[in-house]
Amino acid sequence: MARSYAARVRILRTVTLLAESIVHHLDPFVFEISQGIGPRWYGVSYAMGFLVAWLVLRWLARTGRTPLPAALVGDYITWCVVGVVVGGRLGHALFYDRELLWTFTDKVPWWELLAIQRGGMSSHGGVIGVVTASILFARRHGIGRLAMVDTAAFITPPGLMFGRLANWVNGELPGKLLPQAMQANPPWWSVKYPEEAISLATTPDAQAHARHLVAMAYAGDEASISEVAKLVPAHYPNNFIQAATDGPALMLLFVLVWWRPRRAGALTAAFLIGYGVLRNVSEAYREPDHDVFTVGPLTAPMLLSMLMVALGVAVLAMRPRDGQLIGGVAPRRA
């Protein structure tokens, strides 16, 4: 009971910080079994995405809105999980951090490519992984490939949204700095990262003090959170922007496209075009990755998203004009 009361007080005190900005001070662990070992919120976020996807997929299958038999829903979700994890991690390594491919350590899991518990998943790689898994699954069970990819597209937004929230928990992918004119009095929706105080400190004593503040802030000390918030600049809330565009906004587009049954390929095209456009919009607020391939102002995620849009247009133009109608999420008359 005392712990529950303390938690409520901590939440109320933290909410007072929202009048200025949101300060990242989340513990990545749900709880620790021992030092550095235990379930992480990052993994919980992904699990929630798969759970919601499974529930939606089961509804689609049971109501005949997808050619996937209800008996195969569990098997297909398993294939999707493998596709997301393998594709997402390999995509991150190939697109953003190739050193993971040849970096080995003396600690579990020994190969840095396998250390997904610390984050580092590419959404574009995850998309490639799920599409590949869907095509292979469709081929194995005699289901139309485009229809299967359409089905995968419809259940994807929850996972993308929870993935962005997982990035927030890990303090990854920060937004760009707010304009200087807004730094003196940042809006409540802006975000601050305590660890920036260490890099901004100019003397050894200041760095030592900053490290202490950061450690105390992430331990939940409200006074330290307030103090460190005064030392670091405010950013655009990139994780929340992308959670909104990749999740609810994309899902709304899918519902509109699939409100009535469509020929196979319609939702695949909608996903590629819709996600590509929305991702380019949200990337405008994200701090670009350092030492990652760019073309002028276009970052790697922007270029990949533009490629998705081009592929979506191609699918829309080349998809079959006949065949089975799938989807149709509008309520059906009895």
Q: Consecutive sets of 10 residues in the chain, 334 residues long: mean pLDDT of each?
A: 44 46 86 77 88 96 94 96 90 82 78 74 90 96 94 95 90 92 92 93 90 90 90 95 96 96 94 96 89 79 94 91 84 74
The pTM (predicted TM-score) of the whole model is 0.85
Specify whether 226 is located in the same domain as 241: no
Contacts of 282 (CB under 8 A, 6+ apart): 238, 241, 242, 245, 246
Torsion over CA: 132, 138, 144, 147 (sign): negative
Specify whether 97 is located in the same domain as 242: yes
- pLDDT for res 7: 46
Specify whether 217 is located in the same domain as 254: no
Position 324 in a domain: no
Q: What is the DSSP letter of 112?
A: G
Position 164 in a domain: yes
Specify whether 141 is located in the same domain as 242: yes
Question: Which structural domain range is residue 118 located in?
Answer: 41-172+237-258
Specify whether 57 is located in the same domain as 204: no
Q: What's the structural domain count of the chain?
A: 2
Position 61 in a domain: yes
Position 268 in a domain: no
Task: Report the 10 Å Cβ neighbour count for 234.
Answer: 25
- pLDDT for res 19: 47
- pLDDT for res 160: 93
- pLDDT for res 119: 66
Specify whether 71 is located in the same domain as 200: no
Position 86 in a domain: yes
- pLDDT for res 253: 97
H/E stretch holding 326: strand 325-327
Specify whether 90 is located in the same domain as 157: yes
Specify whether 135 is located in the same domain as 108: yes
Position 57 in a domain: yes
| Whole-Å CA distances, 330 to 53, 218, 247, 257 | 19, 46, 20, 11
Using the CB atoms, write b or e for 172-200: b if 16+ within 10 Å. bbbbeebeeeeeeebeeebbbbbbbbbee
Whole-number Å distance between alpha carbons of 122 and 95? 8
Whole-number Å distance between alpha carbons of 24 and 89? 25
- pLDDT for res 10: 46
Which residues make beta-bridge pairs with 40? 29
Specify whether 66 is located in the same domain as 205: no
Position 321 in a domain: no
Specify whether 214 is located in the same domain as 118: no
Specify whether 220 is located in the same domain as 251: no
Position 182 in a domain: no
Specify whether 71 is located in the same domain as 220: no
